[in-house]
């Protein structure tokens, strides 16, 4: 089995509604996203000969996804009042609502599924909230 591993990061703010500790407050992370893909075979002709896929292609596809979340306030649907959201947006803040609690686990799955949708055969996605905190999603179930 061949495998490739690339990474990118995004810097954003979030909060965990219902968290009993400090994480219920708005705070920021440099989320580091490490993506691993796999293949039994390599391209046998063309520009990608001898590769699963060109690193630059995989990095560009990952960057497109991480850029979507970069320098934003990431909000789980339903955890801020509509009027609060509207005021933030009216005041020029970039707010992105997502249909999941904004944990590292859920972001790992989100990136895994988005890259699967782009045609990659995924092994795993690891999302680091801090250098010491990492969640991993593998789609083996």
Ligand X SMILES: Nc1nc2c(c(=O)[nH]1)N=C([C@H](O)[C@H](O)COP(=O)(O)OP(=O)(O)OP(=O)(O)O)CN2
Catalytic residues: 23, 71, 129
CB of 40 to ligand X, least distance (A): 33
Among 23, 95, 96, 134, binds ligand X (CB under 6 A): 23
CA separation for the pair 109, 124 (Å, rounded): 9
Contact region for ligand X (CB under 6 A) — 61-69, 86-94, 109-117, 125-133?
A: 125-133
Name the token pair of 23.
């994480």
Q: Which residue is nearest to ligand X (CB)?
A: 103
CA separation for the pair 41, 89 (Å, rounded): 47
Q: HSE on the CB side for 74, CA within 13 Å? A: 27
141 Cβ contact list (under 8 Å, min separation 6): none
Among 7, 13, 16, 38, binds ligand X (CB under 6 A): 16
Binding site for ligand X (CB under 6 A): 16, 23, 27, 103-105, 129-130, 133, 135
């Amino acid at each position: 089995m061949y495998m490739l591993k690339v990474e990118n990061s995004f810097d954003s703010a979030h909060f965990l509604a219902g968290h009993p500790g400090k994480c219920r407050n708005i705070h920021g992370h440099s989320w580091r996203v490490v993506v691993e893909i796999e293949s039994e075979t390599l391209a046998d002709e063309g520009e990608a000969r001898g590769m699963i896929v060109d690193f630059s292609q995989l990095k560009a596809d990952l960057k497109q996804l991480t850029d979507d979340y970069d320098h934003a306030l990431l909000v789980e649907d339903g955890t801020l009042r509509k009027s609060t959201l509207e005021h933030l947006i009216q005041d020029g803040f970039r707010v992105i609502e997502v249909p999941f609690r904004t944990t590292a686990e859920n972001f790992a799955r989100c990136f895994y599924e988005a890259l699967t949708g782009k045609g990659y055969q995924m092994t795993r996605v690891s999302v680091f909230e801090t250098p010491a905190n990492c969640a991993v999603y593998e789609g083996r179930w």
